[in-house]
């Protein structure tokens, strides 16, 4: 069986995004500091470069939540294409969880966003079928990752733990009762400690 992966940056107090996410603050207020290790900070080291390679490795399909796709709530309005512009970095089908139907959105570089209204299990099944032996990545945000953890489908989870306290925002592990993974690789930089976990045998 091909692995399902997930790679998330997280603050010391467990948040993957700060409060008040919006068009002006996609990662919430203060959230940029959690992701600075891969966003051009001059303090980034070779460890951060290696972890960026983990983050950007190609996958056959992705699953993400609507909040990860954009700041729009409720019915779809306008021509929002996602945070990434005309050529997103995925280069594969992306299945977006939403309560509001929308036609697939085909963009440059091989990325097509498919909007799934039947819940996480349906989106994950579509991603698995589409990806074949190239694997699936759970791209975020926090709610989607929690659903994947509760469903027990993540084989490899990478956390980039930034030395930042956000105080509020989107918490990753709320409602997760157990963590059946073990660390297999750890890298350090001033901006983050990168820990790659694998499901315990």
Annotate 56-114 with DSSP letters as a single string: H---SEEEEEHHHH-S--SS--TT---TTTTS-S--SEEEEE-SS----EE-GGG-EEE
Domains of the chain: 4-70+86-199 (3.40.430.10)
What is the Cα–Cα distance from 61 to 137, expressed in whole angstroms?
7
What is the Cα–Cα distance from 46 to 52, expressed in whole angstroms?
10
pTM: 0.94
Q: What does the pLDDT profile of the chain (201 residues) look like in tens digits?
A: 479 999 999 999 999 999 887 888 888 888 999 999 999 999 999 999 999 999 999 999 999 999 899 988 889 988 899 999 999 999 999 999 999 999 999 999 999 999 999 999 999 999 999 999 999 999 999 999 999 999 999 999 999 999 999 999 999 999 999 999 999 999 999 999 999 999 988
**Closest CA relative to residue 113, chosen from 96, 135, 137:** 96
Measured CA distances, 133 to 7, 14, 18, 127, 153 (Å):
19, 32, 35, 11, 15
* Residues paired with residue 195 on neighbouring β-strands, in sequence order: 159, 186
């Amino acid at each position: 069986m091909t692995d399902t992966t997930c790679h998330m940056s997280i603050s010391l107090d467990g948040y993957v995004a700060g409060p008040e996410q919006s068009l002006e603050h996609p990662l919430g207020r203060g959230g940029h500091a959690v992701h600075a290790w891969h966003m051009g900070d001059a303090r980034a080291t070779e460890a951060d470069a290696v972890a960026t390679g983990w983050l950007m490795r190609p996958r056959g399909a992705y699953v993400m939540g609507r909040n990860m796709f954009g700041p729009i709530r409720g019915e779809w309005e306008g021509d929002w294409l996602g945070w990434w512009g005309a050529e997103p970095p995925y280069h594969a089908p992306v299945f977006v969880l939403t309560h509001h139907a929308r036609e697939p959105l085909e963009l440059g570089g091989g990325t097509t966003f498919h909007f799934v209204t039947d819940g996480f299990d349906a989106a994950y099944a579509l991603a698995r079928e589409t990806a074949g032996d190239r694997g699936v990545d759970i791209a975020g945000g926090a709610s989607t990752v929690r659903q994947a953890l509760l469903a027990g489908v993540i084989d490899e989870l990478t956390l980039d733990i930034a030395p930042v306290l956000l105080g509020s925002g989107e918490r990753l592990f709320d409602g997760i009762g157990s963590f059946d993974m073990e660390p297999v690789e750890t890298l350090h930089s001033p901006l983050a400690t990168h820990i790659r976990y694998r499901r315990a045998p």
